[in-house]
Amino acid sequence: MKEIILKSVIEWHELMSKYISNYYKFRGQSDVDWLLIPKAGRGKYSSEHDHLIFRQWKRRAKFYLKQESLQDWELLSIAQHTGLPTRLLDWSHNPMVALFFCCFENIEKDGAVFIFAADKYVVTDDKNPFDLKSDIVFYQPTTSTDRLANQYGYFSVHKNPKKEFDLKSKFGEITKVIIPSDLKKDLLIMLNQYGINFLTLFPDLEGLSKHLSWFYQLENISESSLEFE
């Protein structure tokens, strides 16, 4: 794995100019020490069978879903984006989205953005998410939710959820960009100016509340500095 330590906000733009191909996918993690493992393979979840948890989720989720004809792949994507432990690992086509997820939590810790040129995708028409031949393969989901659409979401699918991401493609190995903790605040301000924030990535009331909570914690923003007519 190639590692790069980011030194400034400006350097981020210079670095990303090297990764403009459609092949590249990006993942942000707010703690540099976290492994690239799906939630279903971490800690207390790793002893459970994620396909059984998913089956129970499907049985109860129908009440909340607006669409009734969703396939298991689409349902698994929705489950992943609403917090269920699954064998999916989130990636994005947009490096700015990955950077946001790297920076908005664990502000006191160094984070990381992972870059990988994916070249192997699963065709979902006749395949079961829990019965894949490949150990790890990428999946391009349908845009069944606002969050998936706004986050330009992709997934790596891990046959064994405990298996860390270790793919190599014909374009090369994975790159890890280490984001120092002292850059996170400035990077979040930059991302907000570009329209990457809680409100755009989580387009609902939860996203609005989180965005305003973050915004009004900035040192240069207070109600006394704003004018209302």
Identify whether residues 111 and 210 lie together within a single domain. Answer: no
Mean pLDDT (the chain) is: 88
Identify whether residues 30 and 83 lie together within a single domain. Answer: yes
Q: What tens digit of pLDDT does each residue of 69-90 get?
A: 788 999 999 999 889 999 999 9
Query: Which residues lie below 8 Å from residue 212, measured CB to CB, with a gap of 6+?
Result: none
pLDDT for 226 equals 42
pTM of the model: 0.88
The closest alpha carbon to 145, from 211, 82, 86, belongs to 82
The residue range of the domain holding 88 is 2-190
pLDDT for 224 equals 46
Task: Name the more confident of 136 and 219.
Answer: 136
Identify whether residues 31 and 94 lie together within a single domain. Answer: yes
Order the strands of the 153-158 sheet from edge to edge. Answer: 2-5, 175-179, 111-117, 24-29, 88-92, 153-158, 136-139
Q: What tens digit of pLDDT does each residue of 183-202 get?
A: 999 999 999 999 999 888 88
Identify whether residues 217 and 149 lie together within a single domain. Answer: no
Element (H, E) at 24: strand 24-29
Can you tell me the mean pLDDT for 136-157?
81
Query: Which residues lie below 8 Å from residue 131, measured CB to CB, with a gap of 6+?
Result: none
49-66 burial code (b ≥16 CB/10 A, e <16) = ebbebbeebbeebeeeee
pLDDT at 229 over 70: no
Task: Name the more confident of 126 and 112.
Answer: 112
Identify whether residues 142 and 207 lie together within a single domain. Answer: no
pLDDT for 216 equals 82
Our count of domains for the chain comes to 2
Q: Is the dihedral of CA 134, 140, 145, 150 positive or negative?
A: positive
- Lowest mean pLDDT of 17-21, 108-112, 194-198, 206-210, name the range: 206-210
Q: Are 128 and 60 in contact (CB under 8 A)?
A: no
pLDDT at 13 over 90: yes
- Lowest mean pLDDT of 9-13, 145-149, 193-197, 207-211, name the range: 145-149
Identify whether residues 132 and 170 lie together within a single domain. Answer: yes
pLDDT for 219 equals 66
Q: Are 175 and 1 in contact (CB under 8 A)?
A: yes
Identify whether residues 182 and 204 lie together within a single domain. Answer: no
Q: How far apart are the first and last CA of the chain?
A: 55
Percent of the chain at pLDDT > 90 equals 60
Q: Are 31 and 184 in contact (CB under 8 A)?
A: no
